[in-house]
Structure 1
Amino acid sequence: MREQETFGLDVAAVVRAELPSVAERTVAAIVVEVPSYAEAFRGPMGRRIENAVELALAGFLELATAIDGADASRPIAPAIEGAYALGRGEARTGRSMDALLAAYRVGARVAWRHMSGTAVAAGLSAGALARFAELVFAYIDQLSAASASGHADQLAASGRVRRRHLERLTELLVTGAPPYDLHAAAELADWTPPRTLTAVLLPEAGARDAMALLDARTLQAGEDLPGAEPSTERAVLLVPDAEGFARAALVRALSGRGAVVGPPRPWVDARSSYSRALRALQLGLEPEGEVPVDTELRLADLVLRADGEALADLRAQVLAPLDDLPPGPREKLLETLRSWLLHHGRREQVAAELYVHPQTVRYRMGQLRERFGDRLDDPQTVLALTLALGAR
């Protein structure tokens, strides 16, 4: 036998004859030592796996008998491809690689014990036996690596597919697709619908960090969301079941992130929540310091700002009596009038809000009555003034 040759042809023939028996014993040992595979090896599936094991062993035997100059990759290529497919199959069933790697370890040990015993009995030398051991465990390492690669590739592929399905579901929700389409898309994305969804708009840069703090079922729209405002550069999140105490927790989690939070809506009506949040952004409602814009607390602002031109005309009309004043005095009278309207004329409360003396409030209200006259007692004028000053 040449130096690079591991087996002689006569030894290889003896070992090859034992392969079916070795494969059967290998499978039996795996069933006992890796319980999670016990069910898979029963019935016809077990026989197919035995055949696969036997094929892998035969491929290895060809590798072991290859001499210097031969293409050693050719005999093991089918086994490597099979190991890769096996890793993908494990990922598809939802199992980790732990059981499969354990099966490889058991298989290597059992196959080595029986094949080496047969080879030695057939006259294999001590030096060739040592080389044989190296090949066995190097071969198992290659199979393990191929399976791990297949497992990772399947997870990556299925992850990408699911992300696409989730993005498609989000797109349908935000654009107001019919309930039938939404249910079908949720099933395809393997996403369990919640009771409600709450839309959140926030700068794209902070979306990933925010997602880590939110319900794992939270959806995020893709970059090319139809109907989105291009100039906003905001990520769109749909957060499940953010009602009551959960909403308070959501607002706290979004603190300092420049977020706008829509109202909770039944999940098939998520478009309503998204539209409200987007409208708040378009109307200029911005977070105050660290606190997000909670549209549920800004409904009056949303109503008053719904028609900007009408509001501007109303202000010009109803505040005309103050037009001839310089900006400074005019602003002081406007803030006093606004507080007086909101506090229903309670002078002490107006003074406390404006940090002035009650006599100052009395003096300013005297000036306002000189300009508005009896109209300050007219309900329609009071309504118009309240609307005009309410969104300041």
Structure 2
Amino acid sequence: MAVAEDDSPFPPHVVTALTEQLPAVAESTIATIVVEVPSYAGAFSGDMGRTIERAVQVALGGFLNLATGGGDPSRPIGPALDGAYALGRGEARSGRSMDALLAAFRVGARVSWRHMSGAAVAAGMSAEGLARFAELVFAYIDQLSASSVAGHADELASTGRARRRHLERLAAVLVAGRPLHDLTAAAERAEWLPPRTLTAVLLPETHARAVLSTLDVRTLVSAEELPAGDLPGPERVALLVPDAEGRGRGPLLAALQGKDAVVGPPRSWTAAQASYARAQRAVQLGLRAEGTAPLDTEERLAELVLRADATALADLRTRVLAPLDRVGATAREKLVETLRSWLLHHGRRDRVAAELFVHPQTVRYRMGQLRDLFGDRLDDPRTVLELTVALAVPAT
């Protein structure tokens, strides 16, 4: 609400009386604020107290100048509004909400009105003038409050943007595996308290916001674009989640249900790049989770190892399964299936039969065929190792 600058209802002798009261009103206002807004008690001691007292006098003087029709009409209360704006920014920088400052404004309005209205009445102000005086006082306080709120919001927005940039930079240097001095410097700039470990999570960008609301507030989001050519599927972002090891891993996996997420291993926060690289590799290799559960790379280590060199695995499979080239495709498929189960169950025929849903005699028959094809090599430890590796991951 803007304060109008029409003709003043204040006679000169009333203006003089009010002007003489300004120092006393300022002193009384500050004393009352200290009592009624305890969080400001410390701020009003020493030099800071004298600075604030002068600011209160400027605000009161600016009001009186406006209310009585004096001053520059182009900037009627500019200094006072600027001061209120600066107070709001200062509150934000101190980490405080606007509650205390707005309470101080309300106290100031009440105390100022009580003292100044008393002085105005004593000086002979009319009832009509007193009503107008009250309207101007509270309209002025509204303007000061609004200016402080704007300053508080602007400071939060400014510092918030700066901190977000620092946090994004920290995530970037962690993902890149930069040297320790770069990591610690980035963490200090971001005012980020390092955890014991970080766990990388890759998930579609569309799910990131919902997941972040359930995770540790120190979770970092990498703003780096993941190479689209190397990471199939939807566009993904990387989260670095603090202290999600041990018992903390279960809640993380639960929070990622249905989010098409890939979870790396927990690593020391300075080695977060290793967790990120593991998760990224799992996506690149096309590993898939079952159902709606996230892909937990800690449960898929054997596949990650075996798929690390896809061409070498294919060459190994071709070489060690060469004896099966002498049978037809249908027979080959059944024999490969039986051989894989036989290797995994260490030759226990009943378990192989149960897994394949066939009679134990069928397993005996097929193993006889395999021995005819492979000969004594099925008893050679090296051949058994190579067959186990070759058949551990189904061919794609």
* TM bucket normalised to smaller: over 0.9
User: Could you list the per-position Cα deviations for residues 220-265 of structure 1 after superposition, in whole angstroms to 9, with x for gaps in the alignment?
Assistant: 111x35xx42343211011111111111221121121111111111
**Counterpart residue identity of residue 133, structure 1:** A
Matched residues in 2 for 1:312 and 1:23: separation? 86
Query: Which residue in the other structure is 1:217 paired with?
Result: 218
1:180-199 counterparts in 2 under 5 A?
A: 180-199=181-200
**Counterpart residue identity of residue 9, structure 2:** T
The structure-2 alpha-carbon separation of the partners of 1:287 and 1:73, relative to structure 1 and needing over 3 Å to count, comes to farther
Query: Which residue in the other structure is 2:160 paired with?
Result: 159
Query: Which residue in the other structure is 1:246 paired with?
Result: 248
Counting matched residue pairs gives: 386
Query: Which residue in the other structure is 1:7 paired with?
Result: 10
Instruction: Tell whether 2:104 aligns with 1:106.
Output: no
**Counterpart residue identity of residue 132, structure 2:** R
Matched residues in 1 for 2:6 and 2:190: separation? 58
Aligned pair partner of 2:271 in 249, 260, 269: 269
Structure 2's unaligned 5+ residue stretches are none
> How much does 1:286 deviate?
2.1
1:318-333 counterparts in 2 under 5 A?
A: 318-333=320-335
Matched residues in 1 for 2:324 and 2:174: separation? 49
8 A Cα contact 2:6 2:69, kept in partner? no
8 A Cα contact 1:16 1:58, kept in partner? yes
Instruction: Tell whether 2:282 aligns with 1:280.
Output: yes
1:54-133 counterparts in 2 under 5 A?
A: 54-66=57-69, 74-133=75-134
User: Could you list the per-position Cα deviations for residues 293-327 of structure 1 after superposition, in whole angstroms to 9, with x for gaps in the alignment?
Assistant: 11111111111111111111111111122235443
Structure 1: 4+ residue segments shifted above 4 A: 70-73
**Counterpart residue identity of residue 251, structure 2:** A
Structure 1's unaligned 5+ residue stretches are none
> How much does 1:383 deviate?
1.1
Query: Which residue in the other structure is 1:311 paired with?
Result: 313
**Counterpart residue identity of residue 25, structure 2:** V
Matched residues in 1 for 2:326 and 2:13: separation? 115
User: Could you list the per-position Cα deviations for residues 63-108 of structure 1 after superposition, in whole angstroms to 9, with x for gaps in the alignment?
Assistant: 21128xx975622111111111100100100111111011001000
Instruction: Tell whether 2:171 aligns with 1:173.
Output: no
**Counterpart residue identity of residue 58, structure 1:** G
8 A Cα contact 2:86 2:151, kept in partner? yes
Matched residues in 2 for 1:39 and 1:3: separation? 40
Query: Which residue in the other structure is 1:302 paired with?
Result: 304
Aligned-residue sequence identity (percent) comes to: 67
The structure-2 alpha-carbon separation of the partners of 1:332 and 1:7, relative to structure 1 and needing over 3 Å to count, comes to farther
Aligned pair partner of 2:42 in 36, 39, 44: 39
User: Could you list the per-position Cα deviations for residues 115-158 of structure 1 after superposition, in whole angstroms to 9, with x for gaps in the alignment?
Assistant: 11111111211111111111111111111111111111111111
TM-score (norm: length of structure 2): 0.93
8 A Cα contact 1:6 1:66, kept in partner? no
8 A Cα contact 1:202 1:260, kept in partner? yes
Matched residues in 2 for 1:159 and 1:135: separation? 36
